[in-house]
A = this chain, B = another copy of it.
């Protein structure tokens, strides 16, 4: 019996190294189905309640796809206004009702703590798909899983990793969660590159040093970084007090081919939580890196499906039954 059986997945704080390894082992087994080397119908007849009270196309579709690939059906709800929550229904009531319609729930909601509150009323396992500025644990897991797979490809492991995190580290939910998870490993070096106003919160820096990891802070991409991973995030203009302040920092936290070549090693893996702004005046990750084989940003989103499949399989206790329900794939499927 796995430790996730029938459990909610609400926060990265729930995970220790054993838990993560278990999830990643199951995710590895899911590759086969995501690549359409076989199809499994183990969850045929099961229903995912995919509740996106806040819009998020990619996360919503990724959860739904993950469930479909295990054979299950998806009942979806999007938007807040169309729901009874808008008429004063409590999250407890909503959870009691909607959990009666499904076997497992994935939920995103704009309010901090809302998914945990919902989970209290739910009669089935709930997976947090993002609760405002608080947590988005499946994003953190898919980031960590990607780091593991990318390092594996280069013959390395997460222990001893050097990761640079660039951009808005104050409001970026994904970098907070990822940093917390990385603290579970050994001898990690963190380089944080951000405007002074948008630095990593002190409590996370404390956690890093308390775990004995190394920490370097910079306010621009300067010098040479022997980072294994460069995790880029967006610096949103509206975070700055004025347009002048924003202009002052413009381009300092951007990654393009020239900056990458000058400051990073040729093996440094490029990650980004997506979506990235690809408009001309954007400041995050340029398209001229699109052909760089170390750009892992779409391997990240692909991995998201594997990790979510793993969580569904574990929560519903079918992590060892997928093969039993396998059939061959009859349609043409180009290797993606």
Task: Identify the A interface with B (CB < 8 A).
Answer: 5-6, 36, 39-47, 49, 55, 57-58, 61-62, 64-65, 68-69, 71, 73-79, 81-84, 87-90, 92-94, 96-103, 123-124, 274-279, 282, 287, 290, 298, 301-302, 305, 316-318, 321, 324-325, 327, 329-334, 336
Known: A97-B301, A334-B123. A90 touches B287 (CB 8 A): yes
Cα distance A89–B58 in the bound complex, in angstroms: 12
Cα distance A82–B55 in the bound complex, in angstroms: 6
On whether the beta carbons of B77 and A57 are closer than 8 Å, the reply is: yes
Return A322 CB to nearest CB of chain B, in Å: 10
Known: A274-B97, A331-B42. A279 touches B336 (CB 8 A): no
Cα distance A55–B100 in the bound complex, in angstroms: 19
Known: A6-B334, A61-B77. 10 other contacts (CB 8 A): A45-B71, A61-B98, A62-B101, A74-B75, A76-B76, A88-B275, A89-B275, A97-B301, A99-B336, A101-B305
Q: Which of B36, B47, B305, B330 contacts A69 (CB 8 A)?
A: B47
On whether the beta carbons of A41 and B45 are closer than 8 Å, the reply is: yes
B residues within 8 A CB of A94?
275
Offer 23 A-B interface pairs, CB within 8 angstroms, sorted by A. A5-B332, A41-B44, A45-B69, A45-B327, A45-B329, A46-B331, A47-B68, A47-B69, A49-B61, A57-B77, A58-B98, A65-B102, A79-B82, A88-B276, A90-B287, A93-B278, A96-B301, A97-B274, A97-B301, A99-B336, A316-B333, A318-B330, A318-B331
Cα distance A92–B43 in the bound complex, in angstroms: 33
B residues within 8 A CB of A81?
55
**Smallest CB-CB A-B distances: 7 pairs:** A39-B45, A317-B332, A84-B275, A88-B277, A90-B278, A55-B82, A89-B275
On whether the beta carbons of B88 and A279 are closer than 8 Å, the reply is: yes
Chain B residue nearest to A324 (CB atoms) is B330
Q: Give the oligomeric copy count.
A: 3
B residues within 8 A CB of A321?
330
Known: A6-B334, A279-B88, A331-B103. A73 touches B68 (CB 8 A): yes
On whether the beta carbons of A275 and B57 are closer than 8 Å, the reply is: no
